[in-house]
Amino acid sequence: MRKRTARTVLPVALLCGTFALAACGEDGGNNELTGAAVRTAAAQAGEAAFEQAGHPIDGGLDCADEGSGENLRITCDGKTRDGQDARMTATADRNPEINTGDGVRIEGFEVVGTVGNNQVIKKKGCVGVGC
């Protein structure tokens, strides 16, 4: 049995709480898939937040994650439909969650989004669809 690091435990815990139990095997699931799922959910929630702020994203956001637990940080980059650089940083605050129920949203994060050099998103709590 492999030992799981703190970095892999948080995404598994987040996803096991929001996806069907069948997706989370007895040992917590596949580490590679859970990291990708966390990044994908953050990208989709970020795209919704940029859309709500009047800066729709063209082609999606590309996200990376680092840290774990309340030290989890997700950084996403992309381009707006009018060709400007867009960046979102989501830093876990308390009890970070990813909800995929009725639209993708992330909760328990402080989120800052910029387009060019202008801050267009600053939210704490819920970001994405239904916030």
pLDDT-flagged residues of the chain (< 70): 1-34
Q: Is residue 114 a part of any domain in this protein?
A: yes
Q: Is residue 76 a part of any domain in this protein?
A: yes
Q: Is residue 1 a part of any domain in this protein?
A: no
The confidence score (pLDDT) of residue 8 equals: 33
pTM score of the predicted model: 0.72
What is the number of domains present in the chain?
1
The confidence score (pLDDT) of residue 103 equals: 81
Range of the domain at 39: 6-128
Which contacts of 7-14 are long-range, i.e. CB under 8 A and separated by 24 or more positions?
A: 7/67, 7/68, 8/34, 8/35, 8/68, 9/68, 10/68, 10/69, 10/72, 10/96, 11/35, 11/37, 11/38, 11/65, 14/38, 14/96, 14/97, 14/98
The confidence score (pLDDT) of residue 52 equals: 94
71-100 pLDDT, tens digit each:
889 999 999 999 999 999 999 887 888 888
